[in-house]
Amino acid sequence: MLIVQKFGGSSVANPERVFNVARRIAETYKAGNQVVVVLSAQGDTTDDLIAKAKEISKNPSKREMDMLLATGEQQSVALMCMALGELGYPCVSLNAHQVGMTTTSIYSNARFKKIKPDRIQRELDLKNIVVVTGFQGVNRFDDITTLGRGGSDTTAVAIAAALHADKCEIYTDVDGVYTADPRVVKSARKLNEITYNEMLELASLGARVLHNRSVELAKKYNVELVVRSSLTKAEGTVVKEVCKVERMLISGVAGDDEIARVSLIGIKDTPGKAFDIFATLAKKGINVDIILQSIGRDKSKDISFTIAETALADAQKVIDDNKERWGIERVDYNENVAKVSVVGAGMASNSGVAAKMFEAMFNSNINIHMISTSEIKISVLIDKKDMHKAMNAIHDIFNLAD
């Protein structure tokens, strides 16, 4: 089998952990597999480099930031190959230039375009374990880019897709995808399988096991993903197109309290107003999640929407700049909100899910501010203080622990 294995920064944070991971890689190789390893920068390396840059400039060039940060992964792969060499295994480290990892041109947040698998394939043919820098790419100017959050996962999936690997294993500090965050919901249960779509919903809803882009890419190229622990031998969770077993109604509960609600109150009710508002926000790179529109008084309406807490300052600026033009009476910002969601491929054909979820909220005396639904998920906006209680209530009412 050809297996791609990705290890995060904490898994290779010091020499002891580097050797632990090296031994894990060696086991897979010894079992007769071809192995490509994707690594993040060691431990705090990326944070340390960012701190170094901030000493020089408060707002450093993003191009130069990528040039700087990319060194973290390059150090990781070189050290890992030294460890594998020390254990007696043939191996070679490669950076983004060497594997022809092409991305879009946007520094610090580039997207994967394509990869030339020639060099990796040649090294595999030579029986080498190939250790590749995650997180980084090269754009059409031949400049180094980085892929943004979760970038190393994306690198691993991209390589797995290009090489038609049998599977892509993402090693993390948890042993798989759970029905809810085990730190919040004590009875949370590990899933053996989950579909790409469910994983996408869970990822975007605040279950930070896999980053969305890597799951999207896996879905696009039908790469079998496995999320598993770098600390134990547990089987982990398989993410794939269709799950073999009869799907449960609900696969998981997710909570996200790093969001804010924005309410635009008393907007003059003329056509195209909503389009104008959301197009302007989008142009400034502000992602809007749940949107609720209600008729107000006197031919005016109210629009509420949620955004990431980190985008709040930018959103406030955009709204201040356009308030006059949009004819808004009053703006209200609320950071004391959280979003709780249930996800499950099974709910598409079952109209009772929403009702059951609301019942759980009612039984726990939790007030719902907004509601959003899709084919495979239902989200409610509630007070931040109620989030953990809501997650547990939903987990219980759907019997997810069984």
The answer on whether 73 is annotated among ligand-binding residues is yes
Distance of CA 3 to the CA centre of its chain: 22
Cα(317)–Cα(311) distance, integer angstroms: 10
The reply to whether 92 sits near a copy of itself by the rule CB under 8 A is yes
Rounded to the nearest 10 degrees, how much is the dihedral formed by the CA atoms of 306, 308, 310, 311? -60
With tokens 């979820």, the residue in question is 357
Cα(266)–Cα(288) distance, integer angstroms: 20
Smallest gap from residue 329 Cβ to a copy of itself (A): 43
- Give buried/exposed letters for 35-62 (b at 16+ CB in 10 A, else e): bbbbbbbbbebbeebeeebeeeeeeeee
Residue placing its CB nearer to a copy of itself in the complex, 50 or 331: 50
List, edge to edge, every strand of the sheet that includes 101-103: 112-115, 101-103, 136-138, 144-146
The answer on whether 171 is annotated among ligand-binding residues is no
The reply to whether 93 sits near a copy of itself by the rule CB under 8 A is yes
Residue placing its CB nearer to a copy of itself in the complex, 46 or 195: 46
In 3-state terms, what secondary structure has residue 390? helix
Residue placing its CB nearer to a copy of itself in the complex, 81 or 277: 81
Rounded to the nearest 10 degrees, how much is the dihedral formed by the CA atoms of 381, 384, 390, 395? 90
Residue placing its CB nearer to a copy of itself in the complex, 15 or 352: 15
For a copy of itself, what does the binding mask look like between residues 142 and 181, x meaning CB under 8 A?
A: xxx-------------------------------------
In 3-state terms, what secondary structure has residue 267? strand
Residue placing its CB nearer to a copy of itself in the complex, 55 or 298: 55
Residue placing its CB nearer to a copy of itself in the complex, 56 or 242: 56
For a copy of itself, what does the binding mask look like between residues 108 and 127, x meaning CB under 8 A?
A: -----------x--------
Closest by Cα among 72, 66, 100 to 8 = 72
The reply to whether 357 sits near a copy of itself by the rule CB under 8 A is no
With tokens 């060194």, the residue in question is 71
Which residue from 5, 11, 95, 172 is in contact with a copy of itself, where contact means CB under 8 A? 95
Q: What share of the chain is helix, strand, coil (3-state, %, to 5)?
A: 40, 30, 30
Which residue from 15, 30, 47, 332 is in contact with a copy of itself, where contact means CB under 8 A? 15
The answer on whether 373 is annotated among ligand-binding residues is no
The reply to whether 246 sits near a copy of itself by the rule CB under 8 A is no
Smallest gap from residue 75 Cβ to a copy of itself (A): 5
Cα(167)–Cα(95) distance, integer angstroms: 21
For a copy of itself, what does the binding mask look like between residues 304 and 343, x meaning CB under 8 A?
A: ----------------------------------------
Which residues, 6 or more positions from 285, have their beta carbon under 8 angstroms from its beta carbon? Answer: 314
The reply to whether 103 sits near a copy of itself by the rule CB under 8 A is no
- Cβ neighbourhood burial of 101 (10 Å; 0-12, 13-18, 19+): buried
Cα(95)–Cα(110) distance, integer angstroms: 16
Which residues, 6 or more positions from 117, have their beta carbon under 8 angstroms from its beta carbon? Answer: 99, 159, 162, 163
Residue placing its CB nearer to a copy of itself in the complex, 48 or 320: 48
Chain residues 27-86 in contact with a copy of itself, contact rule CB under 8 A: 49, 52-53, 55-57, 60-61, 63-65, 67-68, 70-72, 74-75, 77-79, 81-83, 85-86
Residue placing its CB nearer to a copy of itself in the complex, 49 or 231: 49
Stretch of 137-145, 191-199, 247-255, 294-302 contacting a copy of itself, by CB under 8 A: 137-145
Residue placing its CB nearer to a copy of itself in the complex, 92 or 264: 92
Smallest gap from residue 87 Cβ to a copy of itself (A): 10
- Phi, psi for residue 138 in degrees, rounded to 5: -130, 135
Cα(171)–Cα(9) distance, integer angstroms: 10
Residue numbers in the known binding site for substrate are 46, 73
> Annotated binding residues for ATP, as ranges?
6-9, 172-173, 178, 183
Binding-site positions read: 6-9, 46, 73, 172-173, 178, 183
Provide the binding-site residues for a copy of itself, judged by CB under 8 A.
Answer: 15, 18-19, 49, 52-53, 55-57, 60-61, 63-65, 67-68, 70-72, 74-75, 77-79, 81-83, 85-86, 92-93, 95, 97-98, 119, 142-144
